[in-house]
């Protein structure tokens, strides 16, 4: 089971999800639904440098992909960056990218090995002080 810290940077219209531990598909889907139930930001960063989704079975990833598609219209032209701490998570991030492209999801997904690269791709120049939403 993982712990996920959720912080908002309203200046940059950015939500940061920081994962600690092993994330399962049900936890991931829960956070996706929670995020979209409110006022979702255009930009999202999933920081997995201290966590992993590597234990999620391939068939479970399909459920996560389906949730992404279901809610993506609420963030048309948005961007989601994944920062992978492990090779398996980088591979899963590449699967998110490919699935999003194949399904013509209106949100861009990209995986990175560093937070700095991810923030640059998101277009975040200066991070505002992040405000904790929930833990």
Give the model confidence (pLDDT) of 81-112 as tens digits.
999 999 999 999 998 899 888 888 999 999 99
- Spatial contact of 33 and 4, defined as CB atoms under 8 Å apart: no
At residue 91, the pLDDT reads 92
Here the tokens at position 71 are 């809610």
- Spatial contact of 79 and 112, defined as CB atoms under 8 Å apart: no
pTM of the model: 0.89
Domains and CATH numbers, the chain: 3-126 (3.30.750.24)
- Spatial contact of 71 and 36, defined as CB atoms under 8 Å apart: yes
């Amino acid at each position: 089971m993982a712990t996920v810290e959720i912080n908002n940077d309203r200046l940059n219209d950015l939500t940061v999800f920081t994962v600690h531990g092993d994330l399962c598909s049900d936890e991931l889907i829960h956070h996706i639904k929670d995020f979209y139930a409110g006022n979702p930001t255009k930009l999202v960063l999933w920081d997995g440098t201290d966590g992993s989704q590597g234990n999620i079975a391939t068939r479970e990833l399909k459920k996560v992909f389906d949730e992404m598609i279901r809610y993506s219209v609420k963030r048309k032209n948005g961007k989601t960056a994944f920062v992978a701490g492990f090779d398996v998570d980088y591979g899963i991030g590449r699967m998110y990218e490919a699935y999003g492209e194949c399904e013509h999801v209106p949100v861009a997904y990209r995986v990175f090995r560093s937070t700095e690269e991810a923030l640059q791709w998101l277009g975040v120049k200066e991070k505002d002080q992040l405000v904790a939403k929930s833990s």
